[in-house]
Amino acid sequence: MESSAIAKYLSIVVPVYDEEKTAGPVLVDIIETVSSLGISFEVIAVDDGSKDGSLAVLQDVQRQHPQHLRIVQHIYNRGYGSALRTGIRCATGEVVLLMDADGQHQAKEIPILLQHVPPYDLVVGFRTREYQGVWYRNFGNRFYNAFASWLANFKIPDLTSGFRLMRRSAVLHFLHLYPTGFSASLTSTLVFLKAGYNVLFVPVEVQPRTGGKSKVNLLKDGSRFFELLLRMIMLYEPMRIFTPASLFLLVMGVLVMLAGIWDEMRIFVSNAAIFFYSSGIFVFLMGLIANQIVSGRIAYHGDETIREYLPGEKNVEYKHQ
């Protein structure tokens, strides 16, 4: 039997919380699918303090596939992001795949993501418009996708997809930034993009969940998503936030001044206009200071994937620097 201490090529992390009906079939499907690919792999099921029979189901699958399945347990529920952190820290693979245990992600899609590493450091399986989710969740996801795309200056079709593949050596740089809740997917997407890593979004088939219910609260978690979006951009590129805010205040100053001139029929700068002008300049200067601080704190790890075209050859060699 192959020891779990031996490093694998692929580690598949599956957070499990009260999913006794779906976790077993999902894990078996993953193991059988990846076994046919001829690569060394491990599956790490992280039981996040489940209160139902999820742990017993995981142990049953482990007895059937002891060479591939590892079980890690939190003694109480600590959150989706915490479960991902635990699984990634325990992983031994060069590449880490994250999947949910609710039956939405299909194991047959794993080879599609694998073929893109290298050259990409993060590959996200995104839900297409054909995905039949609840309408208000779809609307919320599209809003956050559009807003994040503008902030990150990169087209993001699915900000919160939990089906993603990444190089472990890269994600370890940012693991301390992972929140405890469902914003972990959002965090990894933005930090990979803003740190200059190669990110690819690949359309995948996503099924309606086959058991349990979503643990995401639209109002509570939605506000956290919005806050975290701003925090992540502030961490890497604060001028994307300060510049529009500064321009808005300056434009308001111009409009107020023009209104004053129209009302007084003479050149007139009101106190309100002076306030908006001063605020706009102050916000812009604060953005410059924040940008300078961020520039000095961002660590360049130098391990992104590059392509080298060898002389006289059509093949491309991928390297990590």
Tens of pLDDT, residues 160-193: 788 999 999 888 888 887 777 667 787 888 888 8
Q: What is the pLDDT of residue 97?
A: 95
Which helix (H) or strand (E) segment holds residue 122: the answer is strand 122-127
**Boundaries of domain holding 274:** 239-297
Using pLDDT thresholds of 50, 70 and 90, give the confidence band for residue 98. very high
| Residues ≥6 apart with Cβ < 8 Å to 47 | 16, 17, 54, 55, 58, 71, 72, 73, 74
Residue 208 falls within a domain, yes or no? Answer: yes
**299: phi > 0 → left, psi -120 to 50 → alpha, else beta; which?**
beta
Per-residue pLDDT averaged across 103-129, rounded? 86
- Please give the mean pLDDT across all residues of the chain: 80
Looking at the structure, do residues 227 and 243 belong to the same domain, yes or no? no
109 and 152 part of one domain:
yes
Q: Among 235, 255, 286, identify where a domain stops.
A: 235
**Beta partners for 306?**
319
Number of folded domains in the chain? 2
Residue 314, domain member (yes or no):
no
In-domain check, residue 304:
no
Mean pLDDT of 268-293: 87
Kindly report, residue by residue over 238-256, the tens digit of the pLDDT. Answer: 888 888 899 999 999 999 8
The predicted model scores a pTM of 0.74
The CATH number linked to 165 is 3.90.550.10
Q: Which residue has the higher pLDDT, 303 or 20?
A: 20
Percent pLDDT > 70 in the chain is 78
pLDDT digits (tens, 9 = 90+) for 134-160: 555 666 667 777 877 877 778 888 887
Q: Are residues 156 and 291 in the same domain?
A: no
Q: How many CA atoms does the CB half-sphere of 65 hold within 13 Å?
A: 22
Shared domain check, 245 and 229: no
pLDDT of the residue at 15 = 92
Torsion of CA 292, 295, 298, 300, to 10 degrees: -160
